[in-house]
Structure 1
């Protein structure tokens, strides 16, 4: 008995059209595959199809004796331009067989090998462009690779030069082709009545077809008029006959196939190269291995055809790119007869269209493992590629209707990749960029931009501070750096290189403070990312490095530097002098300070001179900022002595000059312009009972093309609470509408040289509630005030723990001591810049791929400083006040690789959380619930959830959790700290885990993955009780039980997300 093929809910007449993303339909197919599994049925505007996603089904369908290629609706629309060419011909059309037999020899191994010189010719034009434009030029890889592949297919197949690199604008053909393909992709989903009314669109569509056809006719006419003796594709179409029938191609079919190769021959390969470069830049280890291979095989010599076979890793990178990101993501087949597929499971009628989702199939964990979504070229090397089962890798389609030009495409990609790796280093314009997609007939990265930095020791990639240049004379470096203006420094002031690695902004903020202070101590500061210093650590001045670890990994803008540093081998850095300060979080004890320690130790091992002992800042501690202050104080004692600089003594100065432009008589508002980082609040509601600590559920529409997975974060840029802003304005006797401009003598995160109101400045650019540091206390004690105030400040300096215990901010101290005569400029310079706050996403893209929900605690607690007003959390207060329709600056941030639900829904999960730590768990369970709703088999998971009272803060208990319990998705075990009688006498999560340990053992032994989300206290309690369970179960000593627990962590069987 067969099983019905699942299908999403449909709408009359429209069918499943509402499920399709209009901009990126590809994404909808992937989300439906996540929800419905290996197969599902679609009906879009009466067009019916079955979509298959698993290797097992695709392997079964890869049989030309039982299934034939169909031409889907989109390609039928493309036939308007490509007719019965090889790509778009129906199976019964004879011209396909004639052309296929006639042209196959052109793409054999030896003919493609003979195209090498032409391919290299065009690749060198790309290299020349990037070299001439220089390292400050922003490269759009998708655009330049399109020029490359367009010129390559024209030269190799038609001996025709378009010279795309010699024009600033795209060739008219590529412009017309791009518009034509984009329109064809959406045209099929429009009702015919609507299409008929779109006269302007229809006219443009026809004109694009004519532009392409005219060019093809021009190329053909030119060849007929001036024939050449060369065995290229065009000559073969014009002058050769089908070896089987003796027939020649008609003039129309020659045009159709010429256009087919111009379109398909460049569009897909340009996408492959763009995806490959994205993965290379995002994976420093891949770049290093590629470079080592190229340097070993090629050195400084030009690549030859004999080198291709020796570039094994290059080939693996291309193969892995084509696996993860096949540019042609789908192909369609249909059965020649009624059949049953899936081992007798699914009945399929004759001639029913079956869409093969290559993108999903090539990431099937049953073939490629649980790390199938990771970019790992190594899986394509050393015989592994040949050992994968047949048909597991199908980026070029299958069988007789597979891509005829696959050898050409791979050779072209290999040559281009080797050439650019030989010549350039690469830096992403935006180091935090995460992959976005755009779709026409193929899929490519969107908004992916890089800087191509020539690989030569003569080029200095760390920005050099230089004396007395005007702003117009300073050329930006890559990545763009900030240099302190030199007007207040002597011309011979030594340079100070401040390099940082930062994702969340803390390290960058600390680094900015070092750069800002440099002028006071006689140094000319330069400020840039660590990645800008790859291969080029300066030796003419001290280097100050401020960087962080993120679960043991470097920051996004430090990954290339770290990879370069650890692979220096025997290279010496004897003239480098440096100091390192590391940011970290002791909650991740096993990887705490890993990257700063690695950088410090490696520099020392290679002969660099350490100027100051490495400093450590623990972000989970109140002493985070003061520890940096202490380290800086020591740094500034040593550097002036070492470099014989003069310290600018005297009262505290900010380096910020303020010019008043508007006294507040007119109202001026600085508006944030909408961009891709702007989300829209759709819903904001309270989840908890009246009188309980407030927790809210917020739904936000994501910026265009933003993607997320369950377990990811949403980073939000908040503003300070209005009350805090008003306090600061009142303390300095300002008007909220007063308009000022700021100028700075050093790097700053404040808006400079542009008018801004005092209210907007204090609201959005600085942290007003951050506890004062020891440096701040010293600054306040240096300015004019009464003796009693100076004595009070000195007491705080001597007993700094009192400041920490009360969380006294600079603003608090200024209010308590009104006689401190501090200027507004110095006050601004003392404040940290506003930071992004990250919140765990509490939804699944299967619920809605364009929206996320957050589950947030609103911080409004009695002030521990003794003030009457309650303490307000900056970000949570901001979030609580967001109304539907409000625009908010957001970005999706990936969580650690281990903190996502298993790809296989039959692997159960055990989740431990308390309060809003439920957020990612809700996303995990929502993912499973939608998979089960779609008809997939889903393992039941176990959720341990800590709350206070069942009637107060048992979040989602009467909605989602109740529904998912009834559906068999999850078994919830609550623990109520203030009502333990309602939770089997268990007060905390760890109490409930211990009581239910038999269930925990049973589900873990069945292969479950475990997750914890909550405070450090919750995570520690869960760790202790799980170790205790291991100890009791196997009768082990404490050390052995702890070792087994850590082994589970290392095997990705247990993952945590800790917050405070």
Structure 2
């Protein structure tokens, strides 16, 4: 019977679409195909035809049990190798045991029976909380692992009266390891040719061994239960002794074992994933965490949660429902039509054909959940909204007669666990920059997600968590030891405590905080340093608290969001007894939100009873005053602290000790081992002609498990250019291979207490090119030098902004200019800020390649403003420009502002305005739209306004993708050539071209278009000015009214990404 053809990707003969599916993370492939092909597509895997439905409408239609029945998928067919005809894997109606077991066991999971399991559930939950308490708040917790212990032990104890005692083991129970490996291999076998499988002898042997371990535990449970029946009737008792009222039959030993294994697998995998997803979403959304904590504190208080409380906390239920919407732990299920049928009103499907209901994507359908479907928002599940959802819109537990039989058990267990945890702990992300990555067995869970658990209402403490920008362990930046706290000497330990907290994304605030901590011993203080989030509700009172933090478009840094949310919702004099000082970093380009976060923190501290030590300092990151302002403020701070706490200055205490441990005659052979955070360079090519400032295109293979979205950033940890490192080595008379050993009395971001080559320290740990600060000049003035050098330094200090900052004069530049300045290497290293992460907009879409990303960068190689003959080299761009295919790079994906992503509604046109390498995210957007159009979907035509010099020098991708996408009907490109205006309708800059094509801009706006700007502040301001001018002219408004109209009209439709 003919119908509308179901879209299908290109296939390989014989294998079909085997290689289309990610063998380790299939859901990622299915998600990307759904985003590319839309609500339905078809795959052929080794001759097995599978139809995937991804929209609410098709999920709802295929949930009709009169037309469709559950089909055991190829994955579950492999799971049958161990679970046989258990409830989850039984073939119905062929296998009658399913009916008997279903009728016997359904009553076991009634609300009344599950309430009776509360005590046993709380027993296991208390083991988890006891572990977290005893290991302490500095312990790095893998919540997915601990929740696996929790849920596996809970189902074993509640259903089978058998204790696995997972929390009394250092590692997971062998059953859990075997089960995970078995499920992963089952998924891979489902998509592997039989002949290939037969040749994988070691893999097959491991698969059989895993099944043996699973069966061994099941047999042990069954034997012990029979030998020592429990006093209470548990679920296993029902399986052993129960008789089906309809047939009078009981369950065979084989079927009992199959169902025991089914409960052990399904009974813990989904719930542990649900808890891990929920913790992740709570930590990424501080306002939600606060609301949930308030509900728990109000309704439960300090008493243990009881069965009477289950389902009585509405916000908790909303949080769990929303977590399962975005993170359905069972992300897909299979059905098949009972007869030939048509779905979606046009797609013909033969009887028995596999239809995979992609719950993961159906739960993100904007037709039901709105344009903010990707946003975690529990409020959409409150106040009757959940009950008012269309039928079958929310299906994390499956549907109908084959839905999850243990849903009440999992639902109660999750509520008890979350309430108990949040009653006792403040949870903090180990890496505040972490973005969700998935791992998949039979279910999905967050991958490489780690937390800390800080006891609530305990004594005030600050925890020195690793830096978000220079993290050393379990992060997306590799395992090299970058940040170190140093070793606190006995003398330093006796000093007055000082607590330094920072909120930082780009590294400026963290660098200032590190400087304060390093300087502390010289002023008589012992410093502890940590993120603001590490101290939420745990602010110390036994020493001064110094905060350095920034605003990002009016929002706190990633590692300060929870602190900010907590602080702004405090009441009364909760901060009485705290003495504090604050320095704020910001950018005056954001006129309305400049210093918003530091100001609010400062004002709230004062309102809540804390004592301000010095007036809040502030600095503009876009100008010379940032470093000068901090130097002035820091000087005043130390004077105030010294007088307040009667400390004694000791310059030697803050010194960095340096010892030469090797003459450098033998080359060290230590090689850095690659890990999951190392990406690989695939391609690096020049995009511009030799006459133009260089722009390059780089392609990276991402570390395993890393995902991204069009519009995200790639964070790169660079090294200083070799030329600059050689200059520094020459200035201090050292060879590149000479080894040194550093030690210090306080926190530092330098590698301490171990031999390192001096070149590795200069190359990777410090910023050699950053302009010298006024503080640096003061140090040099106090250093032994000649009269001529003294006068030169005084001249530099007399007009810092003109003589140093604008010329980007570094400490190294000054030392080379004045070789008589007698500054030791140790002092030089201590003056320099830590190496910072650099973020670049990704210029590709995962629909093009989910495992690869591309960057489009400008390479900074320009005449030095200081007048030096050697050019000024950008640190990160020079590093990237020098990479070759095969090089390994420390990198990670960072999410961009939520607004800076293409809308999911393909009928919404994009209006993109950029210049030079600002094209990067726009290329990713257009590549995504092009892939969707090529997949047969209707895509609104977009507008790209792109500025460069001329079409023959730096018209990036102009003759390649931009032309192809224009021919495809995805975009109309409107270039502005600053040095060849005759080729761009006389328009010199982007804003000129926007004004010239204002009719098209207005047309796109009226069609609901979304506007994106990427480039320098000059470009962003110019574009905004022109758009305001268009509104002013078309609506006949004055300047003020036009600006107000712009803000109103563009609310939610105008996103910027500004870089300098």
TM-score grouping bracket, smaller chain normalisation: over 0.9
Spell out, residue by residue over 1:144-175, the C-alpha distance to the aligned partner (whole angstroms, 9 max, x if none). 21121112112222233223223333333323
In structure 1, the partner of 2:476 is none
Spell out, residue by residue over 1:484-528, the C-alpha distance to the aligned partner (whole angstroms, 9 max, x if none). 73555594x322111111222211110111111112222222222
In structure 2, the partner of 1:518 is 520
In structure 2, the partner of 1:485 is 488
Spell out, residue by residue over 1:784-806, the C-alpha distance to the aligned partner (whole angstroms, 9 max, x if none). 22222211211211111221222
In structure 2, the partner of 1:279 is 281
Equivalent-residue separation in structure 2 for 1:197 and 1:481 (angstroms): 48
Equivalent-residue separation in structure 2 for 1:203 and 1:875 (angstroms): 48
Q: How far off its partner does 1:334 sit? A: 0.9
Equivalent-residue separation in structure 2 for 1:621 and 1:821 (angstroms): 30
SS at match of 1:853: strand
SS at match of 1:516: helix
In structure 2, the partner of 1:746 is 746
Spell out, residue by residue over 1:34-70, the C-alpha distance to the aligned partner (whole angstroms, 9 max, x if none). 1111110001121210001100111111100001110
Q: How far off its partner does 1:422 sit? A: 0.8
In structure 2, the partner of 1:977 is 978
Unaligned residue ranges in structure 1 (runs of 5+):
465-479
CA contact (8 A) 2:522 2:653 kept: no
SS at match of 2:551: strand
Q: How far off its partner does 1:669 sit? A: 5.7
Alignment RMSD: 1.9
SS at match of 2:240: helix
Spell out, residue by residue over 1:210-250, the C-alpha distance to the aligned partner (whole angstroms, 9 max, x if none). 33234333333433444456443222222222232333222
Instruction: Select 2:152's aligned residue among 150, 156, 181.
Output: 150
CA contact (8 A) 2:948 2:955 kept: yes
SS at match of 1:431: coil
In structure 2, the partner of 1:468 is none
Q: How far off its partner does 1:112 sit? A: 1.8
Spell out, residue by residue over 1:729-758, the C-alpha distance to the aligned partner (whole angstroms, 9 max, x if none). 112222222211111222221111222222
In structure 2, the partner of 1:666 is 666
The answer to whether residue 1007 in structure 2 is matched with residue 1027 in structure 1 is no
Q: How far off its partner does 1:830 sit? A: 1.4
In structure 1, the partner of 2:186 is 184
Equivalent-residue separation in structure 1 for 2:377 and 2:615 (angstroms): 37
The answer to whether residue 81 in structure 2 is matched with residue 85 in structure 1 is no
CA contact (8 A) 1:670 1:760 kept: no
Spell out, residue by residue over 1:803-835, the C-alpha distance to the aligned partner (whole angstroms, 9 max, x if none). 122221111111222221111111111111111
SS at match of 1:384: coil
Kindly tell me: are residues 750 and 129 of structure 1, through their superposed partners in 2, closer, same or farther at Cα, counting changes over 3 Å? closer
CA contact (8 A) 2:460 2:541 kept: no
CA contact (8 A) 1:483 1:527 kept: no
Aligned pairs for 1:710-789 (under 5 A) are 710-789=710-789
TM-score by length of 2: 0.96
Q: How far off its partner does 1:5 sit? A: 0.8
Instruction: Out of 551-560 and 898-907, give the one that drifted further.
Output: 551-560
In structure 1, the partner of 2:595 is 593
Instruction: Out of 609-618 and 708-717, give the one that drifted further.
Output: 609-618
In structure 1, the partner of 2:500 is 498
In structure 1, the partner of 2:567 is 565
Kindly tell me: are residues 597 and 673 of structure 1, through their superposed partners in 2, closer, same or farther at Cα, counting changes over 3 Å? farther
Q: How far off its partner does 1:72 sit? A: 0.6
SS at match of 1:974: strand
Equivalent-residue separation in structure 1 for 2:822 and 2:791 (angstroms): 15
Unaligned residue ranges in structure 2 (runs of 5+):
466-482
CA contact (8 A) 1:700 1:852 kept: yes
CA contact (8 A) 2:462 2:540 kept: no
CA contact (8 A) 2:41 2:52 kept: yes
Equivalent-residue separation in structure 2 for 1:217 and 1:516 (angstroms): 60
Spell out, residue by residue over 1:985-1023, the C-alpha distance to the aligned partner (whole angstroms, 9 max, x if none). 111111111111111011111101000001111000000
The answer to whether residue 827 in structure 2 is matched with residue 826 in structure 1 is yes
Equivalent-residue separation in structure 2 for 1:642 and 1:525 (angstroms): 16
Equivalent-residue separation in structure 1 for 2:716 and 2:809 (angstroms): 25
CA contact (8 A) 1:138 1:449 kept: yes
Spell out, residue by residue over 1:16-43, the C-alpha distance to the aligned partner (whole angstroms, 9 max, x if none). 1111112111111111111111110001
CA contact (8 A) 2:462 2:528 kept: no
The answer to whether residue 809 in structure 2 is matched with residue 812 in structure 1 is no
Q: How far off its partner does 1:1045 sit? A: 1.6
Instruction: Out of 575-584 and 223-232, give the one that drifted further.
Output: 223-232
In structure 1, the partner of 2:259 is 257
In structure 1, the partner of 2:214 is 212
Q: How far off its partner does 1:284 sit? A: 1.8
Equivalent-residue separation in structure 2 for 1:326 and 1:805 (angstroms): 53
Q: How far off its partner does 1:552 sit? A: 2.2
Q: How far off its partner does 1:336 sit? A: 1.2
Kindly tell me: are residues 799 and 669 of structure 1, through their superposed partners in 2, closer, same or farther at Cα, counting changes over 3 Å? farther
Instruction: Out of 941-950 and 193-202, give the one that drifted further.
Output: 193-202
SS at match of 2:592: helix
Equivalent-residue separation in structure 1 for 2:885 and 2:339 (angstroms): 54
Kindly tell me: are residues 1029 and 646 of structure 1, through their superposed partners in 2, closer, same or farther at Cα, counting changes over 3 Å? same
CA contact (8 A) 2:151 2:268 kept: yes
CA contact (8 A) 1:462 1:538 kept: no
CA contact (8 A) 1:293 1:313 kept: yes
Kindly tell me: are residues 815 and 669 of structure 1, through their superposed partners in 2, closer, same or farther at Cα, counting changes over 3 Å? farther
Equivalent-residue separation in structure 1 for 2:260 and 2:233 (angstroms): 15
In structure 1, the partner of 2:939 is 938
In structure 1, the partner of 2:799 is 799
In structure 2, the partner of 1:239 is 241
Equivalent-residue separation in structure 2 for 1:1029 and 1:964 (angstroms): 28
Kindly tell me: are residues 611 and 683 of structure 1, through their superposed partners in 2, closer, same or farther at Cα, counting changes over 3 Å? same
Instruction: Out of 359-368 and 549-558, give the one that drifted further.
Output: 549-558
Kindly tell me: are residues 106 and 983 of structure 1, through their superposed partners in 2, closer, same or farther at Cα, counting changes over 3 Å? same
Aligned pairs for 1:137-176 (under 5 A) are 137-176=139-178
CA contact (8 A) 1:512 1:747 kept: yes
Instruction: Out of 736-745 and 661-670, give the one that drifted further.
Output: 661-670
SS at match of 2:89: coil
Q: How far off its partner does 1:462 sit? A: 5.2
Aligned pairs for 1:532-931 (under 5 A) are 532-648=534-650, 655-668=655-668, 671-800=671-800, 801-931=802-932
Equivalent-residue separation in structure 2 for 1:858 and 1:802 (angstroms): 25
In structure 2, the partner of 1:471 is none
Kindly tell me: are residues 670 and 212 of structure 1, through their superposed partners in 2, closer, same or farther at Cα, counting changes over 3 Å? closer
Equivalent-residue separation in structure 2 for 1:817 and 1:718 (angstroms): 29
CA contact (8 A) 2:694 2:859 kept: yes
SS at match of 1:388: coil
Aligned pairs for 1:169-568 (under 5 A) are 169-228=171-230, 230-342=232-344, 344-458=345-459, 460-461=461-462, 482=485, 485-487=488-490, 491=494, 493-568=495-570
Q: How far off its partner does 1:849 sit? A: 0.8
CA contact (8 A) 1:654 1:829 kept: no
CA contact (8 A) 1:481 1:528 kept: no
Equivalent-residue separation in structure 2 for 1:224 and 1:562 (angstroms): 56
CA contact (8 A) 2:462 2:530 kept: no
